[in-house]
Amino acid sequence: MGTKKWYELGEAANRNRLATIIIWLTFSAIIILAILYYQSSSEADTMKEIFTTLIPLFATWVGTVLAFYFGKENFDIATKRYNKIIDKLNPDVLDDINVTQIMISKQTMVYKNLKEIEGKKIQEIITFLSEVKKSRLPILNEGRIKYVIHKATFLDALNELDGTIPAAGYDLKSFLSNPKYQELASSFLTFDENIILEKIRLALSKNSKIKDVFIIDKNKNLVGWLTDTLILRYLSGGNETVDS
């Protein structure tokens, strides 16, 4: 086969050729102008004016070419990232993922037992969550998940106190005696260890108020935890530290 002519190489190849020509012509023109500028004595002012006028133009040409290629590269990276997310959201892929592969195991969870924390002041619990850099707290009762309370809910409760209970004396027992907060604290789902991620994703999509999923064994004892942020970060392929 013979060598292809320039117009037979395709659009991408011709763009590359054009970009190369522009860059080389620009550098050549700058070098020629620089030589003429330093060799000229009688018309130094004129050459200086030409030189200072054309340099920004050449810089603009090169900048445009570089911006195009770097912009195209960023676009390609973003496209690949998007396709990766779409692939992971595909039910056929999620059907193969067991929750035990991505859940936070009980051994690494930050949680409290109900008997240990029932008499604690809400402000003390908020301080504890801030110290361990967590935004929610699972509460267990005899090894089983009982509540999960978000720090934002604790803060809302303190803000809504009408003065009948001093904020400094407001404890978890008083907090849970409020039907509103009792319901919020009990808003979670439980699944057994054999559940696949796709079923959890579907369950969460049906109820936007649910933010936590707990994995239990056959005796209903807690073995792991999945938060909404953990699931989303996994689906998006992120490697960020999960704030549970």
Q: What is the pLDDT of residues 99-152, one digit of tens each?
A: 888 899 999 999 999 999 999 999 999 999 999 999 999 999 999 999 999 999
CB 133 within 8 A of CB 242: no
Q: Is the pLDDT reported for residue 183 higher than 80?
A: yes
Determine which of 40-49, 114-123, 222-231 has the lowest per-residue pLDDT on average: 40-49
pLDDT of residue 79: 47
Number of domains in the chain: 2
123 φ/ψ sector (left φ>0, alpha ψ -120 to 50, else beta): alpha
Mean pLDDT within 37-44 = 61
pLDDT digits (tens, 9 = 90+) for 5-37: 554 555 555 566 666 776 777 777 777 766 766
List CB contacts of 141: < 8 A, sequence separation 6 or more: 113, 114, 115
Q: How confident is the model at residue 189 (pLDDT cuts 50, 70, 90)?
A: very high
Is the same domain home to 152 and 223?
Answer: yes
The domain of 75 spans 6-89
Among 70, 89, 108, identify where a domain stops.
89
Is the same domain home to 123 and 228?
Answer: yes
pLDDT of residue 209: 83
Mean pLDDT within 37-58 = 62
Is the same domain home to 71 and 151?
Answer: no
* pLDDT, the chain, mean: 76
Among 89, 113, 132, identify where a domain stops.
89
Q: How confident is the model at residue 239 (pLDDT cuts 50, 70, 90)?
A: very low
Closest alpha carbon to 154 in 175, 169, 140: 175
Is the same domain home to 116 and 230?
Answer: yes
pLDDT of residue 78: 46
Number of residues assigned to the chain:
244
